[in-house]
Structure 1
Amino acid sequence: MRLDPDYLVTFSVVAEYGNISRAAEALRLSQPAVSGQLKALQDVVGERLYTRTAYGITLTEAGQDLLGYARVIATTLSGAAEHLRTRQARTRPLRLGLSWTLSGQAVSLVSGAHEAGHEVRVTSGHSTSLMEAVASGASDAALIVQPPGPLPAGLEGHRFSAEDLCLLVPAGHPLEDRGSTPLLAAAQEVFLWPMVGSTVARHAERLLNEATVLPAVQFELGSLTAVREAVGRGLGVTILPPSVARLEIEAGQVSPVLIEALNVTVSYVVVVPSDVVVRPEARRLLDLVLRSRRSTRL
């Protein structure tokens, strides 16, 4: 005797509802299909499992005996299906875009996700390209420097943290002891740019323009690492969030000087698709990133 597990599942649902038509709706099957499965199960068992009444069905003694086993099979199959769905959802790594400015968050984000049972793969880039990746589905979410103006259509931002831009100067620089300064005082300095066109660079350009300052000498070094090293060696100054140069500041190689201007604060946001509710990977990654704020040093 071979019992079809699908028939046992159907039988358990019919017994639960006591009505074939309602059970068919719950199983998303036609009523004839449910009746056919019940008949096939009875044929295999060799006994009547239920009798029809004016209000539905009533299980026979044989049906009552079989029901306990049918429920175990139904529960086991349902649990196995849920386990596989969860496993498959976690099989694909969660894809996070991370702004170059926030690259220092990568270790805590990835390790925190791992402790929670998730694998996160990080792609670094400019905030603009990272938003495009989220919009196209290439990334599930992105932690970026919020650009000026609204986010592109189809995306929404969730606040992560914020930080004031500072003028980073070499240790021993004349501006170091002032604590704060208008940008006009840096007009004759060698100004170092990380990546022209990046969101942080655009904020720095805005501040310089608002202060009507055009640095006498400007070098584009192409990366935050190169700028930090150059400032630490006394080759020039730059406008960046101090967290970018935390190690150099703690080592006494670089000093942050507050900028005397309006709108010096930059916001860091987690960008996800606007329909994040129906995107489990994006929703899961958003939750992981926002929870990581407890350990951030921004």
Structure 2
Amino acid sequence: MAIKAEYLLAFCRAAKLGSISKAAKTIGVSQPAISRQLQCLQNETGEKLYTRNAQGIELTAYGTELLAYACKVSQTLTEAKNFISGQSGTASSLKLGLSKHLVPSLTMPLLNNLKAYNSKRKKLKLDLIENYSRNLLEQILTDRLDAAYLLTTLDNIPTDLIKLDISEESICLFALPDDPILRSENISLSVLDGETLIIPSKISTISGITLKALEAESSLPGRILEVSGPGAVKDAVRGGLGIGISLESFLKQEVDAGWLRCAPLKNPKMKLTKVLVCSNAESISNEMQTALVNIAT
């Protein structure tokens, strides 16, 4: 039995994406070419690997068992191609998403490590895309991003994506240094009763979890002011417009400088997990996954 690596690459992509046409698009060949490769693989194994349905393809029991081995071969082939292209001077690229609240803490480490990586591994182009976690996740699912650093709860990442947990991030209230409301540590959201709360766009994971917690604790801010993003929340608080909500890590520079005061919340649900999510096993090597996790730790 002589099975070509290209057959296993086609099978891995089609199985992961659930679609032969999507696999053809990501590999850069025609759909009939992928279909022929899959048929050749079935002929070589003597087993039916998948069935077609209205949504795409569904693996058989044998196909499910073969998938892990096929993806290992596929990843090795992809890494070899990337290495060869790097040696020849051709730059590979990585489209990496950053949740808006993680931009200050991760941008410079990423750029510094990119410089060190390129000094050893030749050329890698890093395209950084800033957005809210929900939007970044959608871009990964539609193959517009290779990977992304997200802020999320543990139950809202699809199981077919690669998810690497990095750390837990605490949500806090913050205000001007002389604001009397945030004098104590580990406060409850009830301090917001009658106050103006400033939140980023409601598509933000932090806004979503905060609004749910306010309802659960029966806390009633006098007004909720929604602004464009986490930077705008800081600007509004520094302008004296109210109390803001954010990550402790996002506020570190301003808190250390004495420009803002941050108060952790005692509600244990007011935490998020910082994760690295990758679209599939071929989009990013194990070595690069490890490097990206280390950068964010």
Superposition TM-score tier, normalisation by shorter sequence: 0.5 to 0.7
Q: 1:99 to 1:90 in 2, by over 3 A?
A: farther
Q: 1:262 to 1:280 in 2, by over 3 A?
A: closer
Aligned residues: CA RMSD = 2.8
Q: Mapping of 1:91-170 within 5 angstroms? A: 91-104=91-104, 105-117=106-118, 118-147=124-153, 149-170=155-176
User: 1:124-164, CA deviations, whole angstroms, 9 ceiling, x for partnerless residues?
Assistant: 11111111222222111000101463312521311121121
Larger radius of gyration, structure 1 or 2? 1
User: 1:178-200, CA deviations, whole angstroms, 9 ceiling, x for partnerless residues?
Assistant: 12321112111111011112111
Structure 1 residue 225, shift from structure 2 partner: 1.2
- Between the aligned partners of 1:161 and 1:170, the Cα distance in structure 2 is 28
Preserved CA contact (<8 Å) 2:163 2:277: yes
Q: Report the equivalent of 2:65.
A: none
Unmatched tracts of structure 1, length 5 or more: 1-24, 29-80
User: SS state of the match for residue 222, structure 1?
Assistant: coil
Q: 1:285 to 1:88 in 2, by over 3 A?
A: farther
Alignment of 1:226 with 2:237, yes or no, is: no
Structure 1 residue 90, shift from structure 2 partner: 6.4
Q: 1:166 to 1:221 in 2, by over 3 A?
A: same
- Between the aligned partners of 2:177 and 2:148, the Cα distance in structure 1 is 34
Alignment of 1:193 with 2:173, yes or no, is: no
Q: Report the equivalent of 1:286.
A: 289
- Between the aligned partners of 1:196 and 1:90, the Cα distance in structure 2 is 41
Preserved CA contact (<8 Å) 2:278 2:284: no
Q: 1:204 to 1:82 in 2, by over 3 A?
A: closer
Identity of aligned residues (%): 20
Q: What is the number of residues matched between the two proteins?
A: 216
Q: Report the equivalent of 1:22.
A: none
- Between the aligned partners of 2:190 and 2:117, the Cα distance in structure 1 is 48
Structure 1 residue 282, shift from structure 2 partner: 5.3
Preserved CA contact (<8 Å) 1:89 1:281: no
Unmatched tracts of structure 2, length 5 or more: 6-80, 119-123
Q: Report the equivalent of 1:262.
A: 268
Q: 1:84 to 1:255 in 2, by over 3 A?
A: same
User: SS state of the match for residue 119, structure 1?
Assistant: strand
Preserved CA contact (<8 Å) 1:140 1:285: no
- Between the aligned partners of 2:185 and 2:145, the Cα distance in structure 1 is 40
Structure 1 residue 280, shift from structure 2 partner: 5.1
- Between the aligned partners of 2:267 and 2:170, the Cα distance in structure 1 is 11
Among residues 201, 205, 216, which one is paired with 2:211 in the alignment?
A: 205
